[in-house]
Amino acid sequence: MARYTQLQQSDIQKITANYDLVVTGFEIVDGGAGNSSYLLHTMNGKYVLTVCDDKNLSDAASMGHLLLLLKTHNFPATRLLPPVNSPVITEYMNKPVMLKAYIDGQVCENLDEGMLRQVGAEMARLHEVPAPDFLPDKHAYGLQVFSNVIGCNINTEYESWLAKQLDYLEQNIPPDLPCGLIHGDLFYDNVIFEEKKFRAIIDFEEACHYYKGFDLGMGILGLCVESTTVAIKHALWSVDTNKSES
């Protein structure tokens, strides 16, 4: 993790005073991009403190509201702890700050059939949560950005291939393809397991109101690839379970 914001004990004490927490120790959390995160040990348990280095207050607040919405639907995701005197998040050094409950478990790079079926079922549950109005209706890597790459002459072979894919998709995506709340970045390092039992999906920074099929495709790419090839059997495990739960 690139540690963009370096916090000292005095900084952490000032931040956690907004949450009525007494910190007994802290350490840097590896992983993530665009954020600086710290694991806090407190008298009330463990929490993850995240400084949003690449988000403005409005975007971070939207993320916080989404996490609170997922909690009301009992969806297993990161649990946000709102500050005492603010509805969702706070600021420190002009940067949004979020405090989340720590989730016990591990990231597993190679998921077996049982684990993939669990993820597929939970993805189906997520797609049933009503998408809030404040979410974007496009994905950061969706069709609308393809044209930004085509014609740049950076990699003409790739751009030619991408143009063909764009043409095919625009002609073949059904107008009534189901859309809803999607995670948008369902890679293995955003899923937490504990002894092969699903615990949570984390990192909803790419969440949006978009094609549900996009989430399936992203999940296949992020969870079902061996070396550089999609493991078809693994993909079918997660897709079949997703269909049966939807």
pLDDT tens for 117-158 read 999 999 999 999 999 999 999 999 998 999 999 999 999 999
Q: Which CATH class is domain 9-101?
A: alpha beta
pLDDT-based confidence at residue 95 (cuts at 50, 70, 90): very high
pLDDT above 50 (res 183): yes
Range(s) for CATH 3.30.200.20 in the chain?
Answer: 9-101
Q: Which CATH class is domain 113-245?
A: alpha beta
The pTM score is: 0.87
Start-to-end C-alpha separation, the chain:
36
Q: Which residues pair with 95 in a beta bridge?
A: 92
Cα distances (angstroms) measured from residue 222 to each of 10, 25, 172, 187: 39, 34, 24, 4
Task: Report d(CA 90, CA 80) in Å as an integer.
Answer: 12
| b/e sequence 64-98, b meaning 16+ C-beta within 10 Å | bbbbebbeeeebbbbbbbbbeeeebbbbbeebbbb
Q: 3-class SS at 241?
A: helix
pLDDT tens for 197-219 read 999 999 999 999 999 999 999 99
Residue matched to tokens 């978009």 = 210
Mean pLDDT of the chain: 90
pLDDT tens for 11-57 read 999 999 999 899 999 999 875 567 889 999 999 899 999 999 888 89
Task: Report d(CA 231, CA 219) in Å as an integer.
Answer: 12
Higher-pLDDT residue of 86 and 77 is: 77
pLDDT above 60 (res 66): yes
Range(s) for CATH 3.90.1200.10 in the chain?
Answer: 113-245
